[in-house]
Amino acid sequence: MNCIQNPILPGFNPDPSICRVGDDYYIATSTFEWFPGVQIHHSKDLKHWKLIARPLSRISQLDMRGNPDSCGVWAPCLSYSNGLFYLVYSNVRSFDGVWKDTPNYLVTSNDISGEWSEPIYMSSRGFDGSLFHDDDGKKWYLNMLVDHRNGRFFGGIEMQEYSSEKRQLIGPVHYLTPGTKLGLTEGPHLYKKDGFYYIVLAEGGTEYGHAMSIGRSKSIFGPYEFHPDNPFVSAAEDKDNYLQKCGHGDLIQTQNGDWYAVFLIGRPLTLHGKCTLGRETAIETFIWKDGWPYLKSGSRVPRREVPTANLPEFTHGAQEHRLFFNNETVPLDFQALRIPITENWCSLSDRKGFLRLYGKESLNSLHYQSLLARRVQHFNVRVSTAIEFFPENIHHMAGLVFYYNSGHYHYACITANFDGTKKYLSIISSDNFEMSFQEELVDITNFDKIVLRGEMNRNRLQFFYSLDDISFNDLGIALDASILSDDHVRNGRSRYRPAFTGSFVGVCCQDLAMNAHHADFEWFEYVEIK
Phi and psi at residue 492, to the nearest 5°: -100, 0
Alpha-carbon gap, residue 493 to 261, rounded angstroms: 34
Residues in the chain: 530
C-alpha dihedral, 362 to 365 to 369 to 374, nearest 10°: 100
The residue annotated as part of the active site, out of 128, 186, 250, 511, is 186
Cβ neighbours, 10 Å, residue 493: 14
The radius of gyration of the chain's CA atoms, rounded to the nearest angstrom, is 23
Alpha-carbon gap, residue 194 to 216, rounded angstroms: 11
Closest by CA to 501, choosing from 509, 490, 492, 512, is 490
320 Cβ partners below 8 Å, 6+ apart?
none
DSSP assignment of 7-61 equals PSB-SS--S-EEEEETTEEEEEE--BTEESB-EEEEESSSS--EEEE--B-STTT
15 catalytically annotated? yes
Alpha-carbon gap, residue 236 to 20, rounded angstroms: 30
Alpha-carbon gap, residue 468 to 451, rounded angstroms: 7
The single-letter code of the amino acid at 246 is: C
Beta bridge partners of 429: 410, 436
Omega prior to 223 cis, within 30 of 0: yes
Closest by CA to 336, choosing from 49, 62, 17, 15, is 62
CA atoms within 13 A on the CB side of 202: 31
Alpha-carbon gap, residue 165 to 74, rounded angstroms: 26
186 catalytically annotated? yes
Q: Are 8 and 18 in contact (CB under 8 A)?
A: no
Give the CA angle between residues 9, 72, 185 to the nearest 5°.
75
DSSP assignment of 288-307 equals EETTEEEETTSSSS--SEEE
Q: Are 14 and 248 in contact (CB under 8 A)?
A: yes
The residue annotated as part of the active site, out of 15, 203, 250, 511, is 15
Give the CA angle between residues 418, 423, 426 to the nearest 5°.
90
Q: How far is Cα of residue 260 from the mean position of the Cα atoms in its chain?
A: 22
Alpha-carbon gap, residue 32 to 293, rounded angstroms: 31
Cβ neighbours, 10 Å, residue 297: 14
| Residues marked as catalytic | 15, 186
